[in-house]
Structure 1
Amino acid sequence: MTLLIAHLGPPGTYAEQAALLYVNWLQKIKGLETILCPYPSIAQTLRAVAQGAAQLAVVPVENSIEGSVSMTIDTLWQLDTLQIQLALVMPIVHTLISYAQSLESIKTVYSHPQALAQCQGWLERFLPSVQLIPTNSTTEPLQKLEQETTAAVISSQRAAQLYNLPILVDGTNDYPENCTRFWVVSQANVSITNQSSAIRNSHTSLAFSVPANVPGALVKPLQIFARLGINLSRIESRPTKRSLGEYLFFIDVEADAREAQMQSALQQLNAYTEILKIFGSYNVLPVNTLDQEVSG
């Protein structure tokens, strides 16, 4: 069986790097053959799996500096047929790639909005007057550099090597501890890795809307988890896109959805939510864990 794995392209993105690490693990531990399939946006990456054009997608969901990737969670809410198989945590080191001879000659910096935000302090300090232009990915604008010698792109070392481009500055993150969490997503009720049902998953992701914007509308669902002793590792709101002031709530809990306490929580949530979606239970692994399993 050959798995098609979708990711944000073009080649050289951090999503592709995360996918490659996951692919290496699949091939050496599970014996599965894979083909990476780049897509021009995160939304198209997830839709490829929903529509059956790929079996898996590797998408960024949260960064330690800039927070959640809204395109990922918004698209996951819209698509009812996807589930999270695994989460990978990968360190991110940004570089400034340019043909310019010095920082003083740079007038424009391109990159994905997340990368620009993760380097905001560095950009304000060293390139305070440049024009910042957001792009679909950190590698999409690299093709502009040969023609625009006063432009730069914030991307990865691997992208610079892949496209044979010069690195002007290495390490432009605002903080050295910069990590991104990626989700490995499949269609619902599909287990690519054939994980044993006896293995406990560490996290469950879910989202819900509430029937009305009234006092206690959010507190009551959250109190269910508190009463049952279930810890929340993340909570955030996103607009429903139906009306100003209406929100969806995305929650990560430190529990497996199959556990009795979580089953009770999910049942009780139905009384206080308008729509409740369970995105799946999964484990969160640093990428070096995959490396250790491969080499061990």
Structure 2
Amino acid sequence: MSISIAHLGPPGTYAEAAALAYCRTLTRECDSKAWLCPYPSIAQTLHAVAKGQADLAVVPVENSIEGSVTITLDTLWQLDQLQIQQALVLPIQHALLSRASRLQAIQTVYSHPQALAQCQGWLENSLPLVQLVPTNSTTEALQHLDTDYTAGVIASQRAAMLYQLPILAAAINDYPDNCTRFWIVGQQSSPGGSHTSLAFSTPANVPGALVKPLQAFAQREINLSRIESRPTKRSLGEYLFFIDLEANASTPLVQEALSEAASHTEILKIFGSYSVIPIDSTALIEN
């Protein structure tokens, strides 16, 4: 059996590294063969699975430094047919790739907005005058390096190996324990696991609108590991709430809590229960 896995491209992104790590788990667990399908944006990656153009998508959802990847949350809310199959936690170590002869020659630095933000302190100290240019992915702007010797790109060491580009500075993220959580998303039913993700909108912006659905979990001592609001995009001041539970949605206790929470919400969407797999840092440079 072969499986197609969509991810943010071009090749060399951290999403591709996460997808490759997931491929290794598939190989260990079954005889499945997987091939990777790069897409130019996270939204397009998720839409590809919703349309049946790919079997699974590997998308970033949360970084330990910069927090949630909002486009992933917003798109998942819009696409009702998708379910989380698994989560991966990938260590992230950024490098500055450039053909410049020295650091002081860099005038422009390109990268994904998350990567730029994760290296903000290093950039302010080492390259305080450079122009920062956001791109759709960490590898999208690598093409500039062949013609502009004053440009740099923040990307992975694996990207440097793939495209045979010099690393001018390594380990430039502001915090050494930088990591990103990725979701593996597909149309099949969620397999179950130690964590559950869901989101809901409230019927009205009134006192108690948020606390009532949350009490359904607190009263049953179900731990919430994350809660975050996102605008509904309908009206200023209206929000969706994304929640992670440390529990399996199929257990009777969680079923009770979900049923009670649903009675206090306008729309409740359960994205699935899944296990979380830590990935060794070698996944960034292997393959």
| TM-score bracket relative to the smaller structure | over 0.9
Q: 2:91–2:280: 8 Å Cα contact kept in structure 1?
A: no
Which of 252, 259, 271 is equivalent to 1:260?
252
| Helix, strand or coil at the partner of 2:255 | helix
Residue 55 of structure 1 is matched in structure 2 by: 55
Q: Equivalents in 1 of 2:6, 2:162: separation in Å? A: 19
Q: Are 2:92 and 1:92 equivalent residues in the alignment?
A: yes
Moved over 2 A (4+): none
Deviation per CA, 1:77-107, whole angstroms, max 9, x where unpaired? Answer: 0100000000000100000001111221111
CA deviation string 1:93-141 (max 9, x = no partner): 0000011112211111100011011101111111111111110000000
Equivalent position SS for 2:146:
coil
Q: Deviations over 1:191-236 (max 9, x none)?
A: 6xxx6xxxx6110000000011111111111111110110000000
Inter-partner Cα distance in structure 2 for 1:269 and 1:156: 42
- Partner residue in 1 for 2:7: 7
For residues 207-286 of structure 1, the aligned pairs below 5 Å read 207-286=199-278
Q: Distance in 2 between matches of 1:129 and 1:165?
A: 23
Question: Does residue 168 in structure 1 map to residue 160 in structure 2?
Answer: no
> Aligned partner of 1:109: which letter?
V
The answer to whether the 8 A contact 2:86-2:275 is kept is yes
Structure 1: stretches of 5+ with no match in the other structure = 292-296
In 2: Cα distance, 1:229 partner to 1:134 partner: 42
Query: Greater shift after overlay, 7-16 or 216-225?
Result: 216-225
Residues 68-83 of structure 1 aligned to structure 2 (within 5 Å): 68-83=68-83
Measured after TM superposition, the shift of residue 269 of structure 1 is 1.1
> How much does 1:288 deviate?
3.8
Unaligned stretches of 5+ residues in structure 2: none
Whether the 8 Å CA contact 2:100–2:151 is kept in 1: the answer is yes
The corresponding residue for 2:137 is 137
Partner of 2:157: 157
Indicate the percent of aligned positions where both proteins have the same amino acid: 69
What is the rounded CA distance, in whole Å, between the counterparts of 1:249 and 1:38 in structure 2? Answer: 30
Q: Find the aligned partners of 1:43 and 1:72 in 2 and give their Cα distance.
A: 7
For normalisation by structure 1, the TM-score amounts to: 0.93
Mapping of 1:109-148 within 5 angstroms?
Answer: 109-148=109-148
Paired residue for 2:20? 20
CA distance in 2, matches of 1:231, 1:244: 30
Deviates more, 1:161-170 or 1:209-218: 209-218
Instruction: Rate the CA distance shift 1:214–1:276 in 2: closer, same or farther, 3 A.
Output: same
Aligned-partner residue type, residue 29 of structure 1? E
1:97-112 maps to which residues of 2 (within 5 A)?
Answer: 97-112=97-112
- The aligned amino acid for 1:273 is T
CA distance in 2, matches of 1:166, 1:113: 22
